[in-house]
A and B are shown apart, each in its own frame.
Chain A
């Protein structure tokens, strides 16, 4: 059974703090990893699509790294703002079963 984990489950940070969370996935049969942001009452929105070991992606204050050999990806938010409050989901594609598996998400609350 393939399992994708995310940690922490939730966190609360002060405005201006930097934060990071982790997505852990099986290290074998890696194909792709996606990060999505899901704000309350909105649709999930893609942040990054990562396919190569060592990939680093950046969008504004948000960045992500990928280590396929050890099976993890980090998402970093620099200088958190209240509008960053959302659930952050990672999605893992693997090759043997050819399917996508989402993690349970990390819920971020940024306190003004």
Chain B
């Protein structure tokens, strides 16, 4: 079974530039998560999709971050414009969770390490 794919693995940009991350979840997984993990902290949920609908985006800074899930499969996360404090690892995860999330383990991708200079 192929795992969760993410790209790019690393990205360095200057502040005020734009960046986009891509995630391909495990086939058949209904739920997709984007997390931001700042060094020394646990992953913070940015957005959770159930199929192609948004379940929770309460911690997504919507003035600069946007995300979409295409046809309930692949997802992109965009930052425009980036700030220095956006430097972090961005993790994508998926889980089966046909109904309520939390009863199934999450499968994580390798993450994208973003450095904003």
Chain A positions within 8 Å of B, measured between CB atoms, are 4, 6, 31-32, 34, 36, 42-46, 49, 51, 89, 91, 93, 98-105
Contact = CB atoms under 8 A, between A and B. Distances in A.
Contacts of A44: 43, 91, 93, 106, 108
B42 A93 contact: no
Interface of B: 3-4, 33, 35, 40-45, 48, 55-56, 58, 91, 93, 100-111
Contacts of A105: 42
A5 to B, nearest CB: 10
Given A31-B100, A46-B107, 15 more contacts: A6-B42, A43-B3, A44-B106, A45-B108, A51-B103, A89-B42, A98-B56, A99-B48, A100-B101, A100-B102, A101-B42, A101-B45, A102-B45, A104-B40, A104-B42
Contact of B108 (A43, A51, A93): A43
A103 B40 CA distance: 11
